[in-house]
Amino acid sequence: MKLLQEKIRSEGLVLSDSVLKVDSFLNHQIDPALMMKIGEEFVERFKGEKITKILTIESSGIAIAMATAVILNVPIVFARKRKSVTFDEELYWAKVYSYTKQESNDIIVSKRFLSAEDQVLILDDFLANGEAALGLANIIQQAQAKVVGIGIVIEKSFQPGAQKLIAAGYRVESLARIQSLENGQVHFL
Ligand code: 5GP
């Protein structure tokens, strides 16, 4: 997606060899026109798949999910982050290690919003080690629903997430794939 690559090149801040900051259009301020283009691109990539719901994770995934869901005309469920979960039979939950915060969080989804009939598209902003996406996929499995695929806005391809998800049998569609962030520069695959 050329437009996204240009935006990353012009506004992305390389914080280290492994972390990219894109808070001017994705993670703090949001560029709505770009979000709509991202939504259109995900819809195009997953064309032909039956999708009944989008699952993402708060908070940055919500705008991406919204742009996609409005075209597909399906509901969005966003997993909430909670520090710890005591057993609650009304919730699906999974443990996710946060790449940026370097701590584990439980993510939770109410059992009311996922069922065995659902065919779910997972969407997220970044893919690093795959923890968030695997946690979301785990929750979908607990609901005995189907993971249609995983859509990612920015994949850091030099980290193992994409390979892990593909090895686990998931279809991964990433709109921008970064080969390296070395020397303060973004290099796309
Ligand atoms: P993973 O779970 O794949 O290890 O990491 C993905 C999650 O960590 C994303 O939901 C995102 O919030 C965060 N993340 C990972 N790498 C980056 C990065 O380079 N920049 C930003 N802004 N967030 C990241």
Rounded to the nearest angstrom, the distance between the alpha carbon of 126 and the centre of ligand 1 is: 5
pLDDT digits (tens), the chain, 189 positions: 999 999 999 999 999 999 999 999 999 999 999 999 999 999 999 999 999 999 999 999 999 999 999 999 999 999 999 866 666 779 999 999 988 888 898 999 999 999 999 999 999 999 999 999 999 999 999 999 999 999 999 999 999 999 999 999 999 999 999 999 999 999 999
Locate 35 and state its tokens: 């979000």
Residues ≥6 apart with Cβ < 8 Å to 138: 94
What spacing in Å lies between the alpha carbon of 128 and ligand 1's midpoint?
6
Residue ID of nearest Cα to ligand 1 atom 10: 126
Q: Is the peptide bond before 98 cis (omega within 30 degrees of 0)?
A: no
Ligand 1 and 20: CB distance under 6 A: yes
Q: Which two tokens stand for residue 10?
A: 């012009």
pLDDT of residue 82: 81
Q: Is 135 in the pocket of ligand 1 (CB under 6 A)?
A: no
Q: Judge residue 107's burial from the number of C-beta atoms within 10 Å of its C-beta, 0-12 exposed, 13-18 middle, 19 or more buried.
A: buried
What is the position in ligand 1's atom list of the atom closest to the CA of 161?
A: 3
Q: How far is the CA of 127 from the centre of ligand 1 (A)?
A: 6
What CATH number did the domain enclosing 25 receive? 3.40.50.2020
The alpha-carbon radius of gyration of the chain (Å, integer) is: 16
Range of the domain at 174: 2-188
Is the CB of 128 within 6 Å of ligand 1? yes
- Quote helix, strand, coil % in the chain, to nearest 5: 35, 35, 35
Residue nearest to atom 7 of ligand 1 (CA): 126
Predicted confidence at residue 46, as pLDDT, reads 98
For the chain, the domain total comes to 1
